[in-house]
């Protein structure tokens, strides 16, 4: 049974309090009692005072098991507002898996000197961007820990809760060359807000952006980077009223677009604690994005106290008894030795370019990858074909339509490497026509029909709602006389 804390829904503060919190930097997590670090099973939780110029004015704490071997992974874990590094270390469960699976953990800590509520500034473009402020300080912590422990630079990961989750998404966008993967717990998409005044809109509202627009926020954070991209685990409670559930969907849209894959899950399964796991595979059929939706969970980090292999952490304010998110995140990254989403070691092809289009086709070219036996070409996340050359022509397309492509190198064993950054090809000719009108007029115009008081799109028979003038939809004519609902974009 879930704890009372885990079941409790959060209520928004009064308007004056909310405005005060907004001015202070958004209270994504409420006040907590001071926490004592968990007793170290085989290592020591300690502060590191010298880790670089520290432009973001952060503190660095770390934990590593005794006798940690060189070339081990490194995890960076960011707390939420009003929390501390020791609090996060005590409750999150990361120490357990650092001891069991052999990796070090770095805990950045902000303070009231940066933000009155000790929030990481995920909404401030002067400090959450590559080479700036808090983001640069975290990068210096990574460099210091890698040098100290001899960590494997190809296995550096970052995770965070709430405001720390928002900063995690920013760090993944700023430093895709540093982090192999990330996890955003009850957090927000990368660069959702770039000013304090815009932050509350991200917390509470759907931003109505397309996956491509979300993906561009990542790509624009480090222009010119063509991959590989970090693999992302997203944790979101369905009853979160502080960072509303649409943020989980927006994160999913953002990072699947960056990977050049679709927003339809490759697989789903039910886990403990009312959790549904949805996996989105890359072109090598390896998990690239995972969305963990926790039914009934409010704002916080999912933990599951106990001695079981898949249990961890301890409950507290905003540490909610549902499922050990740290366990499933670590497994998703492959920290348990499973390899996670690793495939071929071949890099992403560079220089992917659209070389020409016709009414029904598109041609691509790219730079050869050393060690590649062939190349897989994906269109909108689905494999369009393969070739042994460095060019490909796709056919059978619709006129006047945009298509997104990625290319991945395949080695002699058949293992598929990292996908390229997506490119868009738009075929020539007249594309699908779109019509926005109320249901009554759509029927009168012959684009829909009514039955039993409801309206249905001609051809697709999609239910458009009641047959009246109060309901409006956009219909796309994908072929003569065949219409589909296209309210989210045409």
Q: What is the 3-state secondary structure (H, E, C) of the chain?
A: CCCHHHHCCCCCCCHHHHHHHHHHCCCCCCCCCCCCCCCCCCEEEEEECCCCCCCCCCEEEEEEECCCCCCCCEEEEECCCCCCHHHHHHHCCHHHHHHHHCCEEEEEECCCCCCCCCCCCCCCCCCCCCCCHHHHHHHHHHHHHHHHHCCCHHHEEEEEECHHHHHHHHHHHHCCCCCCEEEEECCCCCCCCCCHHHHHHHHHCCCCCCHHHHHHHHHCCCCCCCCCCCEEEEEEECCCCCCCCHHHHHHHHHHHHHHCCCCCCCEEEEECCCEEEEEEECCCCCEEEEEEEECCCCCCEEEECCCCCCCECCCECCEEECCCHHHHHHHHHCCCCCCCCCCCCCCCCCCCEEEEECCCCEEEECCCCCCCCEEEEEECCEEEEEECCCEEEECCCCCCCEEEEEEEEECCCCCEEEECCCEEEECCCCCCEEEEEEHHHHHHCCCEEEECCEEEECECCCEEEECCCCCEEEEEEEECCEEEECCCCC
List active site positions.
Answer: 162
């Amino acid at each position: 049974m879930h704890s009372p804390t885990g079941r409790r829904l959060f209520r928004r503060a009064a308007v004056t309090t909310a405005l005060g919190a907004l001015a202070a930097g958004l209270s994504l997590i409420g006040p907590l009692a001071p926490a004592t670090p968990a007793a170290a099973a085989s290592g020591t939780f300690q502060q590191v005072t010298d880790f670089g110029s520290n432009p973001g004015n952060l503190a660095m704490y770390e934990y590593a098991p005794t006798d940690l071997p060189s070339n081990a992974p490194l995890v960076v874990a960011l707390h939420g507002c009003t929390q501390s590094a020791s609090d996060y270390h005590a409750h999150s469960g990361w120490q357990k898996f650092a001891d069991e699976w052999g990796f070090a953990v770095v805990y950045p800590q902000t303070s009231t000197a940066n933000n009155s509520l000790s929030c990481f500034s995920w909404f401030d473009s002067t400090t959450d961007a590559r080479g700036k402020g808090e983001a640069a300080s975290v990068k210096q912590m990574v460099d210091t820990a890698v040098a100290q422990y001899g960590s494997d630079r190809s296995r550096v990961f970052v995770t965070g809760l709430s405001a720390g989750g928002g900063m995690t998404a920013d760090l993944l966008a700023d430093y895709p060359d540093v982090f192999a993967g990330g996890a955003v717990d009850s957090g927000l998409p990368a660069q959702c807000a770039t000013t304090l005044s815009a932050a509350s809109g991200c917390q509470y509202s759907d931003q109505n952006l397309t996956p491509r627009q979300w993906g561009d926020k990542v790509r624009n954070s480090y222009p010119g980077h063509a991959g590989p991209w970090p693999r992302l685990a997203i944790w979101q409670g369905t009853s979160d009223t502080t960072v509303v559930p649409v943020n989980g969907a927006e994160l999913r849209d953002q990072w699947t677009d960056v990977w050049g894959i679709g927003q339809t899950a490759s697989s789903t399964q039910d886990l403990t604690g009312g959790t549904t796991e949805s996996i989105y595979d890359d072109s090598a059929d390896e998990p690239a994005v995972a969305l963990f939706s926790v039914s009934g969970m409010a704002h916080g980090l999912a933990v599951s106290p106990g001695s079981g292999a898949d249990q961890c952490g301890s409950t507290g304010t905003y540490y909610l008894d549902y499922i050990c998110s740290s366990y499933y995140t670590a497994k998703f990254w492959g920290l348990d030795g499973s390899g996670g989403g690793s495939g071929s070691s071949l890099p992403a092809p560079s220089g992917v370019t659209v070389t020409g289009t016709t009414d029904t086709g598109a041609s691509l070219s790219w730079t050869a990858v050393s060690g590649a036996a062939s190349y897989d070409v994906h269109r909108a996340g689905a494999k369009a074909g393969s070739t042994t050359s460095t060019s490909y022509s796709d056919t059978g397309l619709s006129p006047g339509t945009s298509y997104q492509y990625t290319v991945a190198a395949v080695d002699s064993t058949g293992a598929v490497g990292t996908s390229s950054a997506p490119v868009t090809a738009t075929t020539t000719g007249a594309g699908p026509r779109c019509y926005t009108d109320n249901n009554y007029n759509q029927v009168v115009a012959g684009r829909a029909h009514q039955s039993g008081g409801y309206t249905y799109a001609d051809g697709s028979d999609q239910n458009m709602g009641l047959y009246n003038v109060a309901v409006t939809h956009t219909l796309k004519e994908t072929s003569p006389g065949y219409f589909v609902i296209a309210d989210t974009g045409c």
